[in-house]
Structures are given as structure tokens and as C-alpha cells.
A and B are shown apart, each in its own frame.
Chain A
Amino acid sequence: MNTTEQLREMLKEVYDPELGVNIVDLGLVYNVREEADGIYVQMTLTTPGCPLHDTITGGVKWVLSQKTDKEKIEVDIVWEPRWSPAMMSEAAKDVLGYF
């Protein structure tokens, strides 16, 4: 059984290729948990209609299916609460030159 922290650590391998920052540090992952038959991820994107929608959700599924023994990975993209830059980690802010 993987803990939430372990799953979040795994998701740090999925990068937003435009920003060059992983989705966990960007604050895009709202909830991740292992369930009896799979893994559930609730996340958002920096903007509605983000052109990397399929790429990032595909990356999440690929990483979790490779690093766990679960085959069923559910990625739920939500727009509430709306993502804001305040959700980024200090590491992400440093990379983006956030000020």
C-alpha cells in the first residue's frame, strides 16, 4: 500500500514541459490516494484549455502504472478550486523567477 506522500513523490516525475517544473511543485495535484482497485488523482491545470491537458494526464497515468502495481489510474481534472500561483512551492517559484 502506497501512502499519499509516496504517490506525490512519484508524481514529481511528471513535468509541465513548458514551465519545466513538476506538477506537484506547481501545486496542480489536489488529491491523490490509493484505493482498493486503483489510484485516484484529483488535479487541475494552470489554465482551462491548457494545450498540455492530454500530455500531463497521460504522464500521470504512465508514471503511476509504472511505479505501482495498480493498473487502474483515474485522473480527475477539476477547475474548482481554481489554480493560483500561490499554490506553487518555493522551489517552483524559484525556477519560474516568481516575484
Chain B
Amino acid sequence: MSRLPFLFIFTGIFGFVMFQAASLFQLFDWLDEGIRGQSGWFHVHLFVLGWATMLAMGAIYQLINVILQSTVFSEKLGYIHYTLFTIGLTGLLFGFIKAEIYWIAAFATLLLIGILVFAFNMTLTLIRAKKWDAITISSACAVLYLVLTGLSGMAMGLNFATGIWIDYHENLFGAHIWLGTIGWFGLLITGFSYKMLPMFYLSHDYSTKPQTAILLLWNAAVIVGALSFLLGSGFWMKWIALLLLAAAIVVYNIHMQQIKKHRHKRNPGTGIKWAVYVSQALAVTVIGMLIYTFFNPEQLLDTRTVIFAGWLYLSGWVSLTILGYASKIIPFLWWTHKYGKHAGKPGNPVLADLLNESKVNVWMAAMSVISLFVLVGLATGSDLVITAASAILAVLSLVYIFLISRVFTR
């Protein structure tokens, strides 16, 4: 069995622990300070690249066979990707702490080359598999948006060093965030869910038509949103992008309910149930934001709204979904590695023996509830609530990831 998923997943867990520990150490001051400073850059990139992207890439290498029924084009390129990406990210984070512009530039370049190697490997894997459905197209779009996120980040870095496109810096900044969050994570999570959810629910004979609608709406949201930032458009174009995104999320939730309705297994696993719940919460909150910003257009790009939306989407949806899925894919990975060759032998554990589901339920519930408190703090501007709730969330997250990591000792 390939060691690639292990490398990415172990490093992702390390990144998650580092983020929570670093944030706890500073009592989440970086959230109060706004995200556009050294500390903000460091924490956001550690979270987004060191945790969420690292684990997502591990999951891609693990699940590519499941999605495409074909192996990855080159495992060697996968190791090169891991090396470039990890060294690039480590140097970039160090550069953010030290505010060393040339250090940042050098390691950001390594990081981008790592992403390009990944994109090249995935493109050839997809071309070879010749399997084009909503799952593979979503994954391909996600990788494309990741590349565009990296390129826009590099353009911003060049701006800092040379001032060449200084007038367009804000435009690039908005597009960079939108492409990375909504484009990369959004299409990857939804695309993989089309396969993962039916597999864990053992669902059959459900309609896959909503997948096409979600794919179109989500891509439209990404493109309209990114263009609105790049062209410096006003309120309406950004609001329409939010409307398209809200529509995509609603259809995604409807599709998840259809999959659930056609299930043949009562319990898909606690982590999967929570991934569904947080998607429902995302839908409700995004609709709320859509209505709120319609009547308060000046609030759409207000710093507090942006931080609220960023936290809701990244910590509330992306990260909790990944944590939920991790409770299934990590035991799967470990069981296959350790016990797969001995299937059928008496005394072999089943997957459920590797992780205590009721504990997963307790910690996922606790993290979700405390995440709501962080959002309340951000919405009301209460520093006390933000600090207290995010510190509790960090502790809960560390306990949860410890619980998941114990699978590797079974």
C-alpha cells in the first residue's frame, strides 16, 4: 500500500495541532487583530494549507482509486509534490513570522511548484481514467482553482516585492481568497461527497441529476465571485456570486437528503452524520447572510463580515467536514494497511473496533456547538466571547484529533 496518503495525513494532523496550539498560545489575538497582518497570514495559511489542504490531498491520494477506479498517474510525482509542498509551506510560514519578503517569495515559489506538480499528476490521472462524471469534473475544477489560488497568491507576492500591479492588489487579494475557499475546498468536498456519502450510507437508486446542478451553480459562483474581485465590480456582482453559492449549497443539501433517503444502512458513521449536519448549518447561515447583506449592502465587505464568513466557511464547514470524514477515512486507511492482508482470519477487528463512535459523536457535537459561540462572538464583536469560545474550541479540537490519531496504535 502506498505511503503517500499517510505522509499527507500525518503532516496534516501535525499542522492542525500546530495551528490550535499556536492560536491557543496567543488566545486567538490574530482574529481580533484582523487577518491582514503577519500573524493573520501565518495562522490562516497554517490552517488552510498545513491542515485542511494537506489532509485533503492525503484523502485524494487515498481515494483516487475509489473515485476513478484507476491508480494515480505517478506515485513518484506524488512524493515530489509532498516534498515541495511541505518544504515550501514550512518556509513560507517562517517567512510570515519573520516578515522576510524574499524568504516568503522563495518558499512561496516552491509551494506553487508543488501545487503545479500535483495538478499535472492529477490531470494525467484523470485523462488516463477517461471517466467524466460530476465527481471527476468537480475534482478537476477543484484542482484548477487551487492552481489559480496559488498563481494569484504569487502575483500578490510579486506586488509586495516590486509593486508592479500595486493598483490591482486588492482585486488579487479578493480573488485569491474566493478561489481558494469556494473554488478549491467547495468543489473538492462536494465532489468527493457524491461518492463517499452513498458508500457509507449504502445508498442505491437515487438520482444523480442534482450533482450536475450543484456543479454548474458552484462553478458559476466561483467564476462570478472571482471576476467580481478581479474587475473591481461593485456590490451586485458579489451578491449574485453569494446567491449562486447559496443556491448550490441548498441543492447540495437536498441531494444529501436524497442519498440519505435511499440508504440501506441505518448508521453511516457518526463523523458522516456530522458532516451532513454542518452542511445544513452552512446552508441556513449562508441564506441568512444573503438576506442580511441584501438589506445592508455596505456590510458585505466589512472586515467583521468577512472574518465571520471566513470562519463560518473554513472552520465551521471545511474543517468540521474534514474532521467528520477523517473519522471514517483514517480508520479505513489504517485497517487496510494493517489488517487488509489478513482479511478472513479469525480475530481480525472490523473497522468499528478501531475508533469509539460515541466519543466521536460527543467531540464533534462539542466542537460544533462551540463553533456557534465563536460565530456569535464574531457577529456581536464581543472579544470576550471570541477569545473564550475559540480557546475552548482549540482544546476540544486537540482532544478530538488525539482520539482520531489513536487509531494508528490499534
Instruction: Identify the stretch in B114-122, B144-152, B335-343, B380-388 within 8 Å (CB) of chain A at 4 or more residues.
Output: B335-343
Interface size class of A (residues with CB under 8 A): 20 to 34
Could you list which residues of chain A lie within 8 angstroms of chain B, going by C-beta atoms?
13-15, 17-20, 46-56, 58-60, 62-63, 84-85, 88, 93, 96-99
Could you list which residues of chain B lie within 8 angstroms of chain A, going by C-beta atoms?
62-63, 65-69, 195, 198-200, 202, 204-205, 264-267, 332, 335-336, 339-346, 348-352
Nearest Cβ on chain B to A23's Cβ, whole angstroms: 9
Nearest Cβ on chain B to A94's Cβ, whole angstroms: 11
In the complex, besides A55-B336, A96-B202, 8 extra interface pairs with C-beta distance below 8 angstroms are A14-B344, A15-B348, A18-B351, A49-B65, A51-B332, A55-B340, A84-B205, A85-B204
A14 and B265 contact, CB distance less than 8 A: no
The winner among A51, A54, A56, A98 for most chain B CB atoms within 10 A is: A51
Residue of B nearest to A54 (CB): B340
Residue of A nearest to B66 (CB): A49
A52 and B264 contact, CB distance less than 8 A: no
- Can you list 10 contacts pairing A with B, beta carbon distance less than 8 Å? A13-B344, A17-B339, A17-B343, A17-B350, A18-B351, A49-B65, A49-B195, A85-B204, A96-B265, A98-B266
B341 and A49 contact, CB distance less than 8 A: no
B residues less than 8 Å from A52 (CB atoms): 336, 340
Nearest Cβ on chain B to A95's Cβ, whole angstroms: 9
A56 and B343 contact, CB distance less than 8 A: yes
Nearest Cβ on chain B to A11's Cβ, whole angstroms: 9
A residues less than 8 Å from B342 (CB atoms): 62
A98-B265 contact given A50-B66, A58-B340, CB 8 Å threshold: yes
B residues less than 8 Å from A93 (CB atoms): 264
A residues less than 8 Å from B340 (CB atoms): 52, 54-55, 58
B332 and A18 contact, CB distance less than 8 A: yes
Nearest Cβ on chain B to A22's Cβ, whole angstroms: 10
B residues less than 8 Å from A98 (CB atoms): 264-266
Q: Which of B69, B199, B264, B350 sits near A15, CB closer than 8 Å?
A: B350
A residues less than 8 Å from B65 (CB atoms): 49, 51, 53
A residues less than 8 Å from B351 (CB atoms): 17-18
B343 and A59 contact, CB distance less than 8 A: yes
* Distance A53 CA – B199 CA, assembled complex (angstroms): 13
